[in-house]
Structure 1
Amino acid sequence: PVNHFLVEPLIKYWMDAVAKNAGGMVQFEYYPAEQLGKAKDMLSLALSGVADIALVVPAYVSDKMPLSVVAELPGSFGTSCAGTFALLPLTREGGVIAAKEYAPLGFRPLFSIVLPPYQIFSRHKLESVKSLEGLKLQTTGGPKESMIRKLKAVPIRMTGPEIYESLSRGTIDGGTLATGSILSYNLPGQAKFVTAGENFGSVVAIFGIGEARFKKLSDGVQKIMLEAGEAAGGNACAVVDKGVEADYEKLKQGGMTVVSFPPADRKEIAALAVAVRAEWADALDKRGKPGSEVLKAFTEALIAGR
C-alpha cells in the first residue's frame, strides 16, 4: 500500500540516492499499490519490460524463485538486518542464488530487504501453541505454509492487500505478518491478538530489473544503482528493526493483546522450524536445485554477521 512502512526508508531512499548520484540523468515514475499489476505478476512485468523495475516477492513466484525463499524460512534470525545482510552475498553478482536462479531468469536484483520475523495475529484468543490449532491463517505460501501446518493450523495463501477484507469477512481467522505490516494493512480492530518474540518465517522483498534492460544502462549508472541498493537495504532494515518496539505499542493502542508463549511452547516452535528448514532444503535437492547448498550458505552468513 501507499503508506507501507518500506516506502520512505527503502524505495524513496533508493530513488533519491540514484537520482542525486546520477546527476539528474536518471528519473523515476513510481506506481505503488499494484497500479501496474498484481503482486504475483511483478516478476513477469520486470522481465517483459512492462515495468523497468518491479518489487518481486519470491514467495509469490516460488516456482521461479525457490532458492530466494531461504530467507523466509522460520526460526532463522531475530532481526530484519540479520536476514537482509545474510541474504545479500548470495544474491549479488557471484553469489549462489544470483548464479543459479537470477542469471537463468534474466533478472538483476537492485536492492532488497528481508522483513523482521513474522508473528501470528488472530481474531481469536492466543495463549499457547494449542490455541493455534484449527485456525485459518493467511500466509504468502512457501515454508510459512509448512510451518502453519506443523502448528496444526490451516494455511490460506493470499497476498497482503487481500488480508483486510478476508479478515473482516471471517474468511480467515488471522495470519502471519511483520508487526509493521499489520499496521500498514490497518488490521488492528479486525485482529485482537498478536504474538511476540517468535519467527514464523519472513518475506523477502526484491526490487529488480530485467538483465537485458540493465545492460542497456551505462556502466556508471549500473554502479550507482547497485551501490545505492546496498545502502538502501541497510538503511531500511535499521529503520524497521528500530521501529518494532514502537509497532507493538501502536498495536496495543489499536486494541490488540500482545502474547508471549510459555518457554515450553517456544521450544516446540523452534524444533518445528528446524524441521521445516531441513524439509525445504531436501525437497529442493530432490528437484535438482541446490537447496542444501543455499541453506548452508545463508546459515553461515547469519553466523558471520553476529
Structure 2
Amino acid sequence: MKTQTARSALLAAVIFSPLSASAAEVEPITFKFAEWLPNTSFATEHGANPFMAKVEELSGGKMKFDFYPAEQLGRGSESLTLLQTGVADIANVSPAYISEKFPLSGVVELPEIVQGSCSAADSFYELAQPGGAIYEAEFKRHKIRPLWVGNMGQYRILTNNKDISSLDDLAGLRIRTAGGPMALTATELGASPVRMQGSDVLTSLSRGTLDGVFFPVRGILDYGLAPALDQLVPNLAVGSFGLTYSISDRVWNDLSQKQQDILVEAGKYAMQTYCEYVDTSDPENINVLVQEHDIRKTPLSDSDLKEARAKLENVYDQWAERLEERGLPARKVIEGMQ
C-alpha cells in the first residue's frame, strides 16, 4: 500500500502535470455525468467536483461536463445501466447496490478491511485497472472502467431508542445495510439486516421500521439522519461502501490519447483529495454528532470487541467461499486489499 509521502508525491505530480501545457491539442467534448449522491454529499464536494474542475483545467476548458447529481438521471442501483445504454457517459457506479453484478468489488464492505480511506482506495484502484483481478472479472465484462475510486470510510453502528451497552443488545435489531458483506456482518452480530439505499433511510427510521443503521459518520450529516438516532458505537468498523467513478468503454474508446490521459490524471487527483478528506474528517464529524445532535458514544467493552472480531472473521470466510465456488478469485482480492 502507498504511504502518505507517496500519496502526496502523486498528488503533487498531478497538480504540476505537463498535460496542461498541451491543452491546445485537445478536442472539445462534453460528458454527461450521472451522480446519485446530492451536491451536499462529501463525495461530491471533495471528489466529483474536484475531478470535473481538474479535467477542465488540464484541457484548457475544452473538456466539460453536464452534471446530474441527486439521482436526476437514475438511482444508484441504475448507474451501470445508465452507462451501458448511453444515458450517461460517466457515472458513480456503487457495487453494493448491484452486488450481483459486482460481487468481488464488495471487498471494501468487509468489516475492518478499510483501516484508512486512502490506503484502501489505492489498493482497490490497482485491482480495478486493466490486468487487475477485479477489472478482469467484473468491469471488463460490463464494458466500463473506473477513472477513480473511493470509499466512504469506516461504517459505524448507530441506533435509535435501542440501548447498546453490550454486544448482546444487537440481537434482533433491524439494521440498515447496503447489502452484500455488510448484511453478513449484521447477521454475525445477531442483528437482522435490511437492505436499503441511503435516500430511503430517514423515512424508515422515523416510522420505526428500522432500529438502526450501519452508516458512515459524515453520511449521517449529509442525509439528515442525526435527529432520528441517539447512540453511536465508535470502536467497531462494520464495513465501508465503495464508489467507482466509471466511464463506458463506448465513450472511452472514442477518445483521443490526450483526452484519456487527462481523465486519468484528473481521476488520480480527485481520488487523493477525496480520500484525504475522509481520513482527516472523521473525528470532527463524530464530535458534531455528539455536541450538536446529542448522540452519545457507547464503545463496546474490550471483551465484547474481542468477541465481535472473532465473529466477523466468519464474514471473510463466508464471503470468500461463496465467490470461490463461482470461480471468482475472492481470496486473491482480499490479499490485494491488505
Q: What interval of TM-score do these two structures reach, taking the shorter chain for normalisation? A: over 0.9
- Does 2:310 align with 1:271? yes
Residue 50 (str. 1) matches residue 112 (str. 2) = no
Normalising by structure 2, we get a TM-score of 0.86
SS in 2 for 1:138: strand
State the aligned residue count: 299
Structure 2 match to 1:185:
223
Q: CA deviation at 1:193?
A: 0.6
Residues in 2 aligned to 1:223 and 1:215: alpha-carbon distance in whole angstroms: 12
User: What is the TM-score when the length of structure 1 is the normalising length?
Assistant: 0.95
1:233 aligned residue = 271
Q: CA deviation at 1:134?
A: 1.1
**SS of 1:189's equivalent?**
helix
C-alpha distance in 2 between matches for 1:205 and 1:278: 24
Paired with 2:134 and 2:143, the residues of 1 have a C-alpha distance of 13
Distance across 2 between alignment mates of 1:227 and 1:273: 37
- Unaligned runs of at least 5 residues, structure 2: 1-37
Any conservation in 2 of the 1:15–1:28 contact (CA below 8 Å)?
Answer: yes
C-alpha distance after superposition, 1:244-270 (max 9, x if no partner): 011011101212111211011111121
- 2:107 corresponds to: 70
Q: Tell me the secondary structure at the aligned position of residue 60 of structure 1.
A: helix
Are the equivalent residues in 2 in contact too, given 1:75–1:274 (CA < 8 A)? no
Map of 1:297 onto structure 2:
336
CA distance in 2, matches of 1:19, 1:273: 44
CA distance in 1, matches of 2:319, 2:150: 21
Q: Which of 192, 202, 207 lines up with 1:169 in the alignment?
A: 207
Secondary structure class of the residue paired with 1:104: coil
Q: 1:140 aligns with which of 169, 178, 186?
A: 178
Structure 2 partner of 1:93: 130
From 6, 15, 20, the equivalent of 2:57 is: 20
| Structure 1 residue 112, shift from structure 2 partner | 1.3
Gaps of 5+ in 1: 300-306
Residue deviations 1:41-88 (CA, integer Å, cap 9, x gap):
111111211011111110111111111111111121322122112211
Letter in 2 for 1:89: E
The CA distance in 2 between the partners of 1:216 and 1:68, in whole Å, is 26
- Moved >4 Å (runs of 4+): none
Q: Secondary structure of 1:176's match? A: strand
SS at match of 1:200: coil
Counterpart of 1:27 in 2: which secondary structure?
A: strand
Contact 1:48 1:210 in 2 (8 A): no
SS at match of 1:18: helix
